[in-house]
Amino acid sequence: MICNLQRKKVIVAMSGGVDSAISAFLLKKQGFIVEGLFMKNWEEEDSKQYCMVKKDLNDAKETCKKLGIILHTVNFSYEYWNNVFLVFLKEYNNGRTPNPDVLCNREIKFKTFFKFAIKNFNADYIATGHYVRCVYINNKYWLLRGFDLNKDQSYFLHSIDNCNLSKCLFPLGNLTKYKVRYYAYKLNLSVANKKDSTGICFIGKRNFKDFLSSYLKKKPGIIISIDGKKLGHHQGLMYYTIGQRKGLNIGGISNFTSKPWYVVDKDLKNNFLIVAQGRNNIRLMSTSLIVYKLHWINWKYLKNSLVCTVKIRYRQIDINCSVTPILKNRVHVSFLKPAFSVSPGQYAVFYLHDRCLGGGVIKYRH
């Protein structure tokens, strides 16, 4: 498979988890010169978080020692704060629902980490434990979904530059998670049973409301129905997303049915959280989108209309759609059937079968 690449040097992003561990193992087995690089991207504010990062680093050290590879460390906290976290906060402050994992991959793993590894270690490639595939078709590198569709992470990697993609290796792209853990057990790695990381990229799982309120001022306001009736109070628009059902605390209101309430919109000007009853309420359904801040993996911009599928959230089933360019950096997306719970600020990622074409940020929904 990689006989012509043997003895090339690859720097693996070691997280202290099982995926990066097996990525390093497989690459070494294939004949690469493999070294690991552990990134610290967040300055801890509490002892619990400090312990988590310390454990991840220790796990990465133990794994690299077991595999017989060198482990380097680097601190990208400054880059993460400025290029990921501040953008994340700005989006929430503007009433949108951002996805920090996309930004994190674009700005840190496949830009900052990528440049650092290539320049400082004279690496030929970088590698990560993402469940995606990279193929070379008609003189171009393309990003494909991972073989394990339950773990596929192409949604998060849709904004990688094509020139960088040519120097990225994804050893787990053709494997299932079960197979990855099996390899780890056979190698007797301590991370074989380690749980997958959750929560905000590089920050981890937190009490989200408490965490967000540490950086953004709370702006409590009124919850209203779609016909303008006051139903209760919200703690701040930043805490809610379109389609949200839980945490509204407005059940059992007289003169209304027993159907559950859902967030259908946010009125930033008046600080109103707008809700409606029933999952199939027309206000929860969208027939089209405007998507901007586009990145196409192999095109500068879309020239002609395109029939494909789109994901409007990670793990959500693909939606059949047609995509029409309206500006160089903006497209109109029409759904074949109405889609539930479209949230401005999230990413719309386009696919042609297994091939990830690129994507952008949802600006408006209709």
What is the C-alpha to C-alpha distance for residues 65 and 175, in angstroms, rounded to an integer?
24
Active-site residue 321, yes or no? no
What residues contact residue 245 under an 8 Å CB cut-off, 6+ apart?
Answer: 260, 261, 262, 263
Helix-strand-coil split of the chain, %, nearest 5:
25, 30, 40
Active-site residue 201, yes or no? yes
| Nearest C-alpha neighbor of 299 from the set 161, 190, 175 | 161
Among 64, 134, 168, 201, the one annotated catalytic = 201
| Nearest C-alpha neighbor of 72 from the set 18, 9, 22 | 9
What is the C-alpha to C-alpha distance for residues 114 and 244, in angstroms, rounded to an integer?
37
What is the C-alpha to C-alpha distance for residues 263 and 224, in angstroms, rounded to an integer?
10
Q: Token match 């595939």: residue?
A: 133
Among 104, 134, 168, 356, the one annotated catalytic = 104
| Nearest C-alpha neighbor of 13 from the set 126, 170, 120, 115 | 126
* β-strands 125-127, 168-169 pairing: parallel
Catalytic residues: 104, 201
